[in-house]
A and B are shown apart, each in its own frame.
Chain A
Amino acid sequence: MTDTAYNFAYLDEQTKRMLRRAILKAIAVPGYQVPFASREMPMPYGWGTGGVQVTAACLCPDDRLKVIDQGADDTTNAVSIRKFFQRTAGVATTERTAEATVIQTRHRIPEAPLTEDQILVYQVPIPEPLRFLEPRETETRKMHELEEYGLMHVKLYEDIARHGHIATSYAYPVKVEGRYVMDPSPIPKFDNPKLSDCPAIQLFGAGREQRIYALPPYTQVVSLDFEDHPFVASRAQHDCDLCGADGSYLDEVIIDDLGGRMFVCSDTDFCTTRRELGHIGRLGAPMTDEVA
């Protein structure tokens, strides 16, 4: 039920060509922020306009799209973007990580390993990792050009001075192939190791800031740290209460007024898949009872 009033995937072909050029350049220079002429999209900034434009430029009619927000396929943002492309591109959609060819994500990398046949598109609010300490765009560009990245460590230094450890827990800065320092978008630092040496193409789109950057397959990505305060990919020290997984990234959910809480996988597809295979956590029930 494609809405034929729009071109395939909403954007006109010239715009998609412009985006693809930016994407190719971004892939050619891993971690470098390529400016592009961001278009007005039928959704507000902050709702993934950058990611949507990148996805639109990548989609082919036989692609299978998955959209996640904080790991979940069923949140408002994910549902509306998925519907958007169902209508404007008529592509198939899925909630299964393994079945998707294009995955647009906000704030997570799926738990299931990605493959060479997949593209992961990140929604990015603020692409400039140096912005925290240097407000001038002219200066941050110069700093990238000349690899003056001392400031990045000042941010981490401040963390340790204030909290005793590196308290940055998301949007944790990384260095790409020993060259560009990059903001991996607000993914939890638990996901940072998955950025590196990933078989899939990873594309980052910032709509309001009009920047696209990328990690080609198998790019080396290192999280910044100090010798005496090394990077740690932290997660809540629990097992998933639904599927019992002990290595996934967890959301904490308050379940009553008595301080009761549960920890569940933030990646809903990962959790569901495990439960279908019969894994049951502390508070989980067999899969059949859950289906409404």
Chain B
Amino acid sequence: MGQMEQIAALAATPVALPLLQVDGLCRNYGARIGCAGVSFDIHAGEVLGIVGESGSGKSTLLSCLAGHQRPDAGRITYAGQDVLAMSEADRRRLSRTEWAYVHQNPRDGLRMGVSAGGNVGERLMAVGARNYGQIRTRAHDWLGRVEIAADRIDDRPSAFSGGMQQRLQIARNLVTGPRLVFMDEPTGGLDVSVQARLLDLLRGLVRDMGLSVIIVTHDLAVVRLLADRLMVMKSGRVVEQGLTDQVLDDPQHAYTQLLVSSVLQV
């Protein structure tokens, strides 16, 4: 029986507090529902995918979570703190240290008039880095990690390809070692080969840095490869959530079944 107990101990999920906990989140645009009654939690090192068609409320949800919009109702708890009750100063400090936000369009997340090194260094300087040489070293290190050649450090992102801009945006976001990353269609608008490279990179970073990620996309292949768990949204509500492969392979809700069966097979 000793062995069985050992296995039972292995099988027992380690008890941990959720990093982010969302309860009954609602956001309306006038009479129209942005998102309604959304609840979930995410632990350290987990990747949560949110899928749904355009207008399903997934982007509204993400911007409420990231603090870009204020929800009308609900609670968001991050590492034990009530995010909606925080002062704006604290919340903004959080979003440039422990949080990161990767925009679909890198132009929204980068400073196009500032060099690649300056873009990566900005978050460091925002938290008080005042040594040029050290900032430069960190920027070099991060450009390498996102596979941007070191000699591009002083070039502006406007001279970069779409895939490079997106990788630069990721570097800029991750340089302060955040714990929670929000991603809005990070692979949208990229060539398939470029997407693959980005996915590989993201997965490595998630594992090596123990990141928690909330990724919004309409690309089911992306969530299958990246997400541990999946939430399906329709008309502002979560219609189904569960283990990613279970939701995709054995969808329960009519909408999810439609979504999964609508994917073109390659």
A touches B (Cβ under 8 A): yes
Encode A51-94 as 1/0 by CB contact (under 8 A) with B: 00000000000000000000000000000000000000000000
Is A161 an interface residue, CB under 8 A from the partner? Answer: yes
Could you tell me if B88 and A161 are in contact, using CB atoms closer than 8 angstroms?
no
* B residues neighboring A (CB under 8 Å): 88-89, 92, 96, 111, 113-115, 117-118, 121-127, 129-133, 135-136, 153-154
Q: Are A157 and B131 in contact (CB under 8 A)?
A: no
**A150 at the binding interface (Cβ < 8 Å):** yes
B114 CB contact (under 8 Å) in A145, A154, A227: A154
Complex contacts, B132 vs chain A, CB 8 Å: 157, 160, 226-229
Beta-carbon contact of B125 and A157 below 8 Å: yes
Q: Which residue of A133, A148, A162 contacts B92 across the interface (Cβ within 8 Å)?
A: A148
A146 on interface, CB distance cutoff 8 Å: yes
Q: Is the CB of B135 within 8 A of A157?
A: yes
- Cα(A229)–Cα(B125), bound, Å: 14
The answer to whether residues A228 and B113 also contact, given A150-B125, A154-B125, A157-B121 and a CB cut-off of 8 A, is no
Q: Is A153 among interface residues, defined by CB-CB distance under 8 A?
A: yes
In the docked arrangement, what's the CA distance between A146 and B88, Å? 8
A276 at interface (Cβ–Cβ under 8 A)? no
Given pairs A142-B88, A153-B129, 4 additional interface contacts (CB within 8 A) = A146-B89, A150-B126, A162-B115, A162-B154
Q: A interface vs B, CB < 8 Å? A: 133, 142, 145-146, 148, 150-151, 153-154, 157-158, 160-162, 225-229
How far is it, in angstroms, between the C-alpha of A161 and the C-alpha of B119 when the chains are bound? 12
Describe B's contact surface by its main secondary structure.
Answer: helix
Is B88 a contact of A133 with CB atoms below 8 Å?
Answer: no
In the complex, A148→B96 CA distance in Å? 10
| CA–CA, A157 and B154, complex, Å | 10
Given contacts A133-B113, A161-B118, contact A148 B131 (CB under 8 A): no
* Contacts A153-B130, A226-B131, A227-B131; A158 near B125 (Cβ below 8 A): no
Residue of B nearest to A143 (CB): B92
| Cα A142 to Cα B125 with chains together (Å) | 17
Given contacts A133-B111, A146-B88, A226-B131, contact A157 B117 (CB under 8 A): yes
- Chain A residue at minimal CB-CB distance from B124: A150
The complex places the Cα of A225 from the Cα of B88 at a distance, in Å, of: 28
Chain A residues closer than 8 Å to B121, beta-carbon distance: 154, 157
Contact partners of B153 in chain A: CB under 8 A: 161
A181 to B123, CA, bound (A): 18
- Neighbouring A residues of B129 by C-beta, 8 Å: 153
* Contact of B127 with A133 in the complex, beta carbons under 8 Å: no
10 contacts between A and B (CB under 8 A): A133-B113, A151-B122, A154-B121, A154-B122, A154-B125, A157-B121, A161-B118, A227-B131, A228-B132, A229-B132
Q: How far, in angstroms, from A145 to B87 measured CA to CA in the complex?
A: 12
- Please name all residues of chain B whose beta carbon is closer than 8 Å to the beta carbon of A160 when the two chains form the complex: 132
CA distance A150 to B92 in the complex (A): 13
Q: A148 with B126: in contact, given A157-B132, A157-B135, A226-B132 (CB under 8 Å)? A: yes
A150 to B153 alpha-carbon distance, docked (Å) = 19
